[in-house]
């Protein structure tokens, strides 16, 4: 069961990094009417995934 938690923590952290990379890869642009078009939702989701993966990893480390 402990290995599952470690894999879950690593997976959450990797997904967070992947979302940050995806935000940079997609990029943003300014439309003709002057509005900024970008996938802003990827930034907080990436941070939440990274934070939850890191927090789970710390909790599992100290439960040993």
pTM across the whole model: 0.85
| Cα 31 from Cα 41, distance rounded (Å) | 18
- pLDDT by residue (tens digit) across 4-59? 999 999 999 999 999 999 999 999 999 999 999 999 999 999 999 999 999 999 99
* Rounded alpha-carbon distances, angstroms, from residue 31 to 36, 39, 42, 43: 6, 14, 20, 21
């Amino acid at each position: 069961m402990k290995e599952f938690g470690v894999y879950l923590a690593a997976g959450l952290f990797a997904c967070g990094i992947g979302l940050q990379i995806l935000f940079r890869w997609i990029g943003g642009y300014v439309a003709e009417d002057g509005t900024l078009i970008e996938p802003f939702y990827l930034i907080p989701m990436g941070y939440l995934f990274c934070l939850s993966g890191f927090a789970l990893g710390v909790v599992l480390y100290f439960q040993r």
